[in-house]
């Protein structure tokens, strides 16, 4: 069996922002009983024993955890590469210095758009200027900086300006990631899914920027899989290389897996190693034995692992079906209908986004 390479530690789902594309679960209140400092430190130890090399400290907003510096020190002391995934709200110069001293290796800051009005509207609070200041602090302290921008139909036409902003911030890497439709993003899909024309425009801009910035800044462009011929190899395969621990201690193969009708596994009840090896939520879709046709006999089954289990469940009600994004799926019409709706004359640009609530 493969060992996990990366741990996504979702320290809290509390967040000062209210992004309508948030992939956190809809039932946020169910995660209020957060793991304590000592529980997270034990989990990090168990993860390191399992072979985890990368620890992504995420949320919600991980800076809302008062013990973040202690948690970074523990993960770093165990030899894991530590990455802070943050909105940057709360990354003051003083806090940043403490995190640096504790061993934090990398900072990833989210930005919602290239200018304050749009960015603050999408984020739900005035935050743009604070993000820019925090990015400067991160660079001053010598961290490698990734800027993450979730793309959707309300900001994708500004990709050129977004890349220009990221250049100004002197980031080492930018992730231009089209929205993945889980959690709040799923609820807001009609208002977020871009049109073909928008995507083609963004691809042209990204291609030119990659050529211009080669060797200076890495540009990762994640296309919306609704427009692809084949699905993405979600998480590199179910329970193959990555695992997630939610704020309440639920252990999951991916951040959206709490939606699937599988028995819960909790780090409060079992050690991470035992969960990885044998918990039903991890073994259910590991490998290829669970596959139905057409995946079962498809040449690509070891390449994309049948796509995303959470998306298959969300769109068909059966997590073992082929991801409907695949053009070979018998359920592919579900996806083509959503795509056609995003490309009709009655574009739903003005549709109200339902913001994720602040907690
Ligand atoms: Fe991938 Fe299954 Fe589609 Fe084949 S049929 S390309 S394995 S999702
Ligand atoms: Fe859960 Fe893709 S998000 S398997």
pLDDT of amino acid 235: 94
Q: Is the CB of 290 under 6 A from ligand 1?
A: no
CA of 281 to the centre of ligand 1 (A): 22
Binding-site annotation: residue ranges for [4Fe-4S] cluster: 15, 19, 22
> What is the residue with the minimal CA distance to atom 8 of ligand 1?
306
332 lines ligand 1 (CB under 6 A): no
pLDDT (mean) for 245-267: 97
Backbone angles phi, psi at 73, to 5 degrees: -60, -40
Q: Whose CA is nearest to atom 1 of ligand 2?
A: 310
Q: Is residue 230 lining ligand 1, measured as CB closer than 6 Å?
A: yes
Question: Residues 180-203: what's their mean pLDDT?
Answer: 93
Instruction: Give the Å distance between the CA of 209 and the centre of ligand 2.
Output: 30
Q: Is the distance from the beta carbon of residue 326 to the nearest atom of ligand 1 less than 6 Å?
A: yes
pLDDT of 246: 98
Could you read off the pLDDT of 302-318 as tens digits, one per residue?
999 999 999 999 999 99
CA distance 4 to 238: 11
* Ligand showing the shortest atom-to-Cα distance for residue 229: 1
- What average pLDDT does the segment 173-188 reach? 93
Residue whose Cα lies nearest atom 5 of ligand 1: it is 295
Question: How does residue 70 score in pLDDT terms, banded at 50, 70 and 90?
Answer: very high
Mutate to test the pocket of ligand 2, among 257, 259, 290, 306 (most ligand atoms within 8 A of CB): 257
> What pLDDT sits at residue 129?
96
Q: Find the residues whose C-beta lies inside 6 A of ligand 2.
A: 234-235, 254, 256-257, 308-310
**Residue closest by Cα to atom 3 of ligand 1:** 326
Average pLDDT of the chain is 95
121-158 tens-digit pLDDT:
899 999 999 999 999 999 999 999 999 999 999 999 99
Kindly give the number of the ligand 1 atom that is closest to the alpha carbon of 231: 8
Q: Residues 78-135: pLDDT tens digits?
A: 999 999 999 999 999 999 999 999 999 999 999 999 999 999 989 999 999 999 999 9
What band does 358 get if pLDDT is binned at 50, 70 and 90?
Answer: confident
**What pLDDT, on a 0 to 100 scale, did the predictor assign at position 351?**
63
Gap from CA of 302 to ligand 1 centroid (Å): 9
What value does the mean pLDDT take over residues 53-71? Answer: 97
């Amino acid at each position: 069996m493969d060992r996990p390479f990366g741990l996504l530690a979702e320290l809290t789902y509390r967040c000062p922002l209210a992004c309508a594309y948030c992939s956190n679960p809809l039932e946020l209140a169910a995660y209020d009983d957060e793991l304590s400092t000592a529980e997270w430190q034990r989990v990090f130890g168990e993860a390191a024993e399992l072979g985890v090399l990368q620890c992504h400290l995420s949320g919600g907003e991980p800076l809302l955890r008062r013990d973040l510096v202690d948690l970074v020190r523990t993960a770093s002391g165990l030899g894991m590469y530590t990455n802070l995934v943050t909105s940057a709200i709360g990354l003051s110069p003083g806090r940043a210095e403490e995190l640096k001293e504790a061993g934090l290796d990398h900072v990833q800051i989210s930005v919602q758009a290239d200018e304050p009005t749009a960015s603050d509207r999408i984020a739900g609070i005035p935050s743009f200027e604070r993000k820019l200041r925090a990015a400067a602090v991160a660079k001053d302290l010598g961290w490698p900086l990734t800027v993450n921008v979730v793309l959707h139909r309300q900001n994708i036409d500004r990709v050129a300006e977004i890349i220009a902003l990221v250049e100004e911030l002197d980031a080492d890497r930018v992730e231009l990631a089209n929205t993945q439709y889980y959690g709040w993003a799923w609820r807001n899909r009609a208002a977020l899914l871009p049109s073909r024309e928008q995507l083609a425009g963004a691809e042209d801009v990204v291609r030119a920027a990659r050529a211009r910035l080669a060797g200076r800044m890495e540009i990762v462009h994640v296309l919306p899989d609704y427009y692809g011929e084949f699905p993405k190899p979600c998480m590199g395969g179910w329970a193959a290389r990555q695992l997630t621990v939610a704020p309440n201690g639920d252990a999951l193969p991916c951040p959206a897996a709490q939606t699937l009708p599988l028995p819960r596994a909790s780090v409060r009840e079992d050690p991470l190693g035992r969960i990885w090896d044998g918990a039903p939520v991890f073994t259910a879709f590991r490998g290829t034995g669970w596959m139905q046709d057409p995946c079962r006999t498809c040449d690509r089954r070891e390449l994309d692992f049948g796509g995303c289990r959470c998306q298959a469940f969300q769109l068909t009600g059966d997590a073992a079906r082929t991801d409907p994004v695949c053009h070979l799926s018998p359920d592919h019409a579900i996806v083509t209908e959503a795509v056609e709706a995003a490309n009709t004359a009655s574009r739903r640009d003005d549709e109200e986004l339902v913001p994720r609530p602040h907690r």
